Homo-oligomer: A and B are copies of this chain.
Amino acid sequence: MNNYIITFKPVNQKVSISEGSTLKDAIVKSGLDFDFPCGGIGKCGKCTVKVLSPKIETLQKETEHLSKNQIFAGIHLACITEIHSNMIVELNMRKNTDYNILQSSAEKKFTILPLLKKDFIQLNLPSLECQKSDLKRLREKLILKNPKYKDLEIGISVLRELPDKFRKADNKVTVIIDKSEILGIEKGNTCYKMFGIAFDIGTTTVVGYLMDLYTGKELAVSSSLNPQIKFGADVISRTNYANQNNDDLKLLQVTILKALNKLIDNLSQKANIKRNDIYALTVVGNTCMHHLFLGLTPRYVAAVPYVPAVSESIKLNASELKLNINPAGKVFVLPTIAGFVGADTAAVILSTDMDKSKDIKLAVDIGTNGEMVLGSSTKLVSCSTAAGPAFEGAQISSGMRGANGAIDHVYFDESMTYTVIGNEKPRGICGSGLLDIVAGFVKVGVVNKRGKLLSPDKFTNPAAKKYSNRIINYNNANAFLVVSESETAHGNPILITQKDITSLQLAKGAISTGIKILVEKLEITSHDIKEVLLAGAFGNYMNPHSACTIGLIPRELESKIKLVGNAAGSGAKLALLSQNEFERTNNIANKVTYIELGTQKHFNLEFARGMQF
């Protein structure tokens, strides 16, 4: 069988390949960056190349994908074009291709250029006439790939591997690089094997998204509880634990790192890839989680004047944190905005493009804390409020997490109806259920404006009448019977007490006041807001109508509400797939003006007003 030489322009890389192979085979052998989105089976029509010489015939299948102009210009599909002579072929390499990633709510266009990159290199052989060092031979080929690679640094451990690796690999190696550094060397062409994980570390939950850095596709998702929970359920108690001494801070760090290593294991098993082929991690989280992950003391974040150790983005070696991915792997941590507005919020802005938007948008991420950002490309302001534990189901008499047995949605129509997670007998009420119930109280008039649960004789709204028999005496105060003991899983009634309503009022007051102050700071009115983006698990689970009914979100904005899913996680994924997007997060963090609500003179007054329905 004959061998032919295929020359790829504009890089002038030559490959020798046997007759009957496809141009795709030749491209793969060359190690050049070029994608076959459908895997090279002639389906997507994306692997277009220009055959400069010789002129070859267009196949029937190609005509399905190519325009007349393209056919006339000599464009062919690499995956189905066979080789029967020497050829000169022009390639549009990956940097010209745009990719989409799908979020739950929006499709976003960007160019894949992952934080780490692989390049296949065929080194020149050394000889007595050319005794260049191993590193010099590597550099001379890297510079041909990209002149910017001129100043790449290299660590001593990678350097120690060069001599033997080059010779064992017959001088054909894949180089792993990031923006500034040669991170590792692998034998042969491994450009196609390159994965990364985007981590969203929440106070309660940790989520990891396994991404193929070559195709940009999401391969698996896995989540777990944040095991630091045993040292404190919220940011403040966890900070107090870390403050005891250096070992306790270390313990908190090791605890989250172990959880991430478990997720790395899970994700690689799910997607059937090797941990060693994972090279990059991105991490977002609130400022406290961010500090604990990095082993930075959160002591000064939690105390006045709430100063983080660092806010800018950070790059470090995965091995420094003992994260079990490729030894050359890097961790990229997104920037934080302030002590209580973290990297997760920077990621929300990144994935929702609020910083590029002409329209003014409001993003709200509700958890134990509520973080809010308001603005447009001109200006962004943010704040954070302690929403309290009501939305997490904690400190509510019948409260529970959003797990099986939780009443998650409640409707006050002809009668009161509800749904239960897992379709079981109810055990309690989760945050979204509580929100619906209190919104129902407001709607039918079971509570007054100040949130007081009325005795039936005080009902003024006729709609309240049908709930009269649900008002019971509980610990010498009024309570509302949601489910009687005969219908619950545990045989105890499920109630809403006056205290529960007050808890929710505090949370609602904090968030609505935050929004109000942001609106003032931007010198607009709420009517100028074009979109309200609800981010995070709770934001996506709660009934927006209920949120507006109780005034958690200004009522006039109900029609502008948009659910954006885990926008923080989406931001972490974006940053992983695109150096540019990662770097943009620093601009975002610098651009956002943080408003410390505690220093606002009229905060207490507004807050008291905000608690009312």
Question: What is the interface of chain A, defined by CB distance below 8 A to chain B?
Answer: 126-136, 155-156, 159-160, 162-164, 167, 294-297, 299-300, 304-312, 314, 316, 320, 336, 338-339, 594, 596, 598-599
* Residues of B with C-beta under 8 A to A134: 300, 307-310
A160, A295, A299, A598, most chain B CB atoms within 10 A: A160
Neighbouring B residues of A163 by C-beta, 8 Å = 296-297, 299-300, 307, 309
Report B-chain residues with C-beta under 8 Å of the C-beta of A299. 163-164
B594 engages A309 (CB within 8 Å): no
Q: Once bound together, how far apart are the Cα atoms of A314 and B157, in whole Å?
A: 12
* Complex Cα–Cα for A310 and B161 (A): 11
Contact of A310 among B159, B297, B306, B594 (CB under 8 A): B159
Contacting A598 at CB < 8 Å: which of B128, B305, B306?
B128
Given B128, B312, B339, which contacts A131 in the complex, CB threshold below 8 Å? Answer: B339
Known contacts A131-B305, A134-B309, A134-B310; A156/B294 CB under 8 A: yes
A389 to nearest B CB, angstroms? 25
Additional A-B contacts beyond A131-B305, A133-B309, A163-B297 (16; CB < 8 A) = A126-B307, A128-B304, A128-B306, A128-B599, A131-B338, A133-B307, A133-B311, A135-B309, A156-B295, A156-B314, A156-B320, A159-B309, A159-B314, A160-B294, A163-B299, A163-B309
18 contacts between A and B (CB under 8 A): A126-B305, A127-B305, A128-B306, A129-B599, A131-B305, A131-B306, A131-B307, A131-B339, A132-B307, A133-B309, A133-B311, A133-B336, A135-B311, A156-B294, A159-B309, A159-B310, A163-B297, A164-B299
Chain A: interface secondary structure? loop
Asked whether A296 lies within 8 Å of B131 as measured between CB atoms, the reply is: no
* Bound-complex Cα distance A336 to B594 (A): 52
- Minimum CB–CB distance from A412 to chain B (whole Å) comes to 43
The residues of B that contact A596 with a CB separation of less than 8 Å are 128-129, 131
| Contacting residues, chain B, for A308 (C-beta < 8 A) | 133-134
Report the Cα distance A296→B563, complex, angstroms. 56
Q: Is the CB of B162 within 8 A of A309?
A: yes
A136:B320 contact, CB within 8 angstroms: no
List residues of chain B with CB within 8 A of the CB of A314.
156, 159
The reply to whether A295 and B127 contact each other, CB–CB distance below 8 Å, is no
Q: Please name the residue on chain B nearest to A249 by beta carbon.
A: B160
Pick from B131, B155, B297: contact of A594, CB under 8 Å: B131
- A129, A135, A156, A159, most chain B CB atoms within 10 A: A156
**A304 contacts across to B, CB distance below 8 A:** 128
Q: Whole-angstrom distance from the CB of A11 to the nearest CB of chain B? A: 25
Q: In the complex, how many angstroms separate the beta carbon of A303 from the nearest chain B beta carbon?
A: 11
Complexed CA–CA distance, A106 and B316 (Å): 46
Tell me the smallest distance from the CB of A131 to a CB of chain B, in Å.
5
Complex interface: chain B residues within 8 A of A599 (CB): 128-129
A162 CA / B297 CA spacing, docked (Å): 10
- What is the chain B residue whose CB lies nearest that of A333? B156
A335 to B297, CA, bound (A): 40
User: Smallest CB–CB gap between A128 and chain B, Å?
Assistant: 5
B164 lies within 8 A of A297 (CB): yes
**Interchain CA distance A339-B336 in the complex, whole Å:** 49
A311–B159 touching, CB < 8 Å:
no
**A295 — which chain B residues lie within 8 A by C-beta?**
156, 160
Interface centre among A311, A339, A594, A599 (most CB of B within 10 A): A311
Which residues of B have CB within 8 Å of A316?
155-156
In the complex, which residue of chain B has the Cβ closest to the Cβ of A590? B136
A461 to chain B, nearest CB (A): 44
Query: What 4 pairs between A and B have smallest CB-CB spacing?
Result: A133-B311, A135-B310, A126-B307, A133-B308
Tell me which residues across on chain B come within 8 A of A309, comparing CB atoms: 133-135, 159-160, 162-163
Most chain B beta-carbon neighbours within 10 Å: one of A307, A316, A336 = A307
Known: A307-B134, A308-B133, A310-B135. A294 touches B159 (CB 8 A): yes
Q: How far, in Å, is A50 (CB) from chain B's closest CB? A: 39
Cα distance A159–B130 when bound, in Å?
44
Instruction: Give Cα distance in the complex from A130 to B306, angstroms.
Output: 10
Q: Which residues of B contact A312 (CB under 8 A)?
A: 133, 135-136
A136–B135 Cα distance when bound, in Å, is 36
Q: Which residues of the partner chain B approach A156 to less than 8 Å between Cβ atoms?
A: 294-295, 314, 316, 320
Chain B residue, CB-CB nearest to A296:
B160
Question: Which residues from B are CB-within-8-Å of A336?
Answer: 133
Smallest CB gap from A164: residue in B: B297
Cα–Cα distance between A245 and B308 once the two chains are bound (Å)? 48
Residue of B nearest to A317 (CB): B156
What CA separation (Å) do A159 and B594 show in the bound complex? 23
Task: For residue A243, give the distance in angstroms from its CB to the closest CB of chain B.
Answer: 11
**CB proximity of A602 to chain B, nearest CB, Å:** 16
- CB pair A136–B311 under 8 Å, yes or no, is yes
Pairwise interchain contact B128-A159, C-beta atoms closer than 8 A:
no
Bound CA span A135–B132, Å: 42
Q: Which residues of B contact A155 (CB under 8 A)?
A: 316
A497 shortest CB reach to chain B, Å: 36
In Å, the complex CA distance between A159 and B295 comes to 10
Query: Given A135-B309, A310-B133, are A296 and B159 neighbors across the interface (CB < 8 Å)?
Result: yes
Question: Do A128 and B305 have beta carbons less than 8 Å apart?
Answer: yes
List, in ascending order, chain B residues with CB within 8 A of A310's CB. 133-136, 159, 162
